[in-house]
Amino acid sequence: MTVSERTKMAAGEWYSCIDDELEALRVTARDAQFEHNGLPPRQRGNMGPALRALLGGVGEEARIEAPFHCAYGFNLFLGDRTFLNAGCTILDTAPVRIGNGTLLGPNVQIYCAEHHREATGRLAGLEIARPVTIGDSAWIGGNAVILAGVSIGEGAIVGAGAVVTRDVPANTTVVGNPARAVKRR
């Protein structure tokens, strides 16, 4: 029996992103984002209806400013009062869980996919998906980049422009590229 690329992606195994089923899911996500990003703010409210329906979970009063981009949407879970500012990009090939009251600044990027290290693997579209988790009441500064497999603890602060390559403990402030701890509360 052949295992689908989507099944491999969900299992955290190497899969090919060059796949008809995955492309159809990305098209569905792009359609929902197009609606969300194109609606006037008063009509969009906290989130366009197609985008809300696409996401894996949306807490009360969660808000996504336009423009917004995600790869699939169904792997994105937002807690209550979560706020994603304009320009956020979330490549949710694996689950991305963002806690209650967490704030993402403009142009924050979250990447769950890691491409193959060998050129032949990259040419074949091989990648592996690793989840990202951000705890409650965290603050992710504008233009920060969070890489695959990272967990950011409750109350943590990621400085603007930081590139987070490792887990961030709760109540810790990190800055820089790669992000390093500068303060623990």
pLDDT bracket for residue 110 (50, 70, 90): very high
pLDDT in tens, 9-66: 999 999 999 999 999 999 999 999 999 999 998 888 899 999 999 999 999 999 999 9
d(CA 157, CA 168): 9
The question of whether 69 is a catalytic residue gets the answer no
> Among residues 36, 69, 115, 116, which one is catalytic?
115
Secondary structure element (H or E) that encloses residue 38, with its range: helix 20-38
* Run of H or E residues at 91: strand 88-91
| Cα Rg of the chain, angstroms | 16
Domains present along the chain, CATH in parentheses: 5-184 (2.160.10.10)
pLDDT digits (tens, 9 = 90+) for 78-100: 999 999 999 999 999 999 999 99
Give me the pLDDT at residue 150, please. Answer: 98
Q: How far apart are CA 43 and CA 45, in angstroms?
A: 6
**What is the pLDDT, as a whole number, of residue 44?**
86
The predicted structure's pLDDT at residue 114: 96
54-73: pLDDT as tens digits:
999 999 999 999 999 999 99
Q: Which two tokens stand for residue 171?
A: 């109540």
How many residues in total does the chain contain? 185
Which tokens go with 26? Answer: 């990305």
Band of pLDDT at residue 185, cut at 50, 70 and 90: low
For residue range 153-171, what is the model confidence (pLDDT) as tens digits? 999 999 999 999 999 999 9
Cβ neighbours of residue 120 closer than 8 Å, sequence gap 6 or more: none
Cα separation, 53 vs 57, whole angstroms: 9
Confidence of residue 1 (pLDDT cuts 50, 70, 90): confident
Q: 111-141 pLDDT, tens per residue?
A: 999 999 999 999 999 999 999 999 999 999 9
**155 contacts 169 by C-beta, under 8 angstroms:** no
Indicate yes or no: pTM above 0.85. Answer: yes
* C-alpha closest to that of 132 among 107, 106, 102: 102
Handedness of CA 111, 117, 121, 123 (dihedral sign): positive
Structure tokens at 126: 């091989």
